[in-house]
Amino acid sequence: MEHNIQDIILNVESLNTYYGKAQILFDLALHVYCGEVVVLLGRNGAGKTTVLKSIMGMISSKSGRVFFKGKSIDKLPPYKCCALGLGYVPQDRRIFKGLTVLENLEVGRQPPSEGYGEWTPARLLELFPNLAERRNHLAGMLSGGEQQMLTIARTLMGNPELIILDEPTEGLAPVIVNHLLTTIQRLKSEGISILMAEQNLNFARSISDRACIVYQGQIRYQSPIAELSQAAYEKYCAL
């Protein structure tokens, strides 16, 4: 697919990120076009989560530029990034275990930005039928797969234009992974842009437009997902 430069929804330039004195990301650059699904591949510890947290304003010790819809967001705290239309689903599903499914959804409510459809609990329960059956159950009683769905559903309540998913299939049974795939395809068809970290290559191939391989804190390789080089994958991602 051909893209114009003005169609970039997220642009990251020369990102350097540190935990204490340890530098984790080195001059990292990446971009996501409107409506595109981009996957960050890479081994454990490569820096994928650090990239996503840096974009969301969750790590203050960093330099570089991050633009979302053309606005500079690199100095903004996470809640302001969310208010601008960025949604974030962390690697460690953070649901409120003592609240019900419906209450968890309400916690995520944010007004939609112009031109984006408003997600309501009713629309989300239609998208996630398993959650509908358990709408009044405490979230802490849900299975791992249902908790992952709830985290995504709660993030959608914020009406994001771009959703960031950190290893969404981690620890999920194959049948749940298939359900998640259908759900993410539906989000893509709604025009939502997606940036995700993922180590499940089959899943990544089924949903992504483009892959970026993170290795030792840098993007070492990128290509349309259909052209992903086996050699690059084995060099940088295989265990």
Q: Give contact residues for ligand ATP (rule: CB under 6 A).
A: 19, 22, 24, 42, 44-50, 91
Nearer to ligand ATP, 48 or 188 (CB): 48
Nearer to Mg ion, 30 or 101 (CB): 30
Minimum distance of Mg ion from residue 169's CB (angstroms): 13
Residue number closest to Mg ion, CB atom: 49
Q: What order do you get walking across the sheet with 62-68 strand by strand? A: 22-33, 8-19, 62-68, 71-72
Question: How many angstroms separate the CA atoms of 192 and 45, rounded?
Answer: 28
Minimum distance of ligand ATP from residue 15's CB (angstroms): 12
User: Which stretch, 40-48, 110-118, 136-144, 173-181, contacts Mg ion (CB under 5 A)?
Assistant: 40-48
Nearer to Mg ion, 49 or 169 (CB): 49
Nearer to ligand ATP, 18 or 96 (CB): 18
Q: How far apart are the first and last CA of the chain?
A: 32
Minimum distance of ligand ATP from residue 44's CB (angstroms): 3
Strands 71-72 and 22-33, bridge-based pairing: unpaired
Long-range contacts of 89-92 (CB under 8 A, 24+ apart): 89/151, 89/152, 89/155, 89/163, 89/164, 89/165, 89/166, 89/168, 90/151, 90/166, 91/49, 91/166, 91/167, 91/170, 91/197
Count of positions on this chain that bind Mg ion (CB under 5 A): 2
Task: Provide the binding-site residues for Mg ion, judged by CB under 5 A.
Answer: 48-49
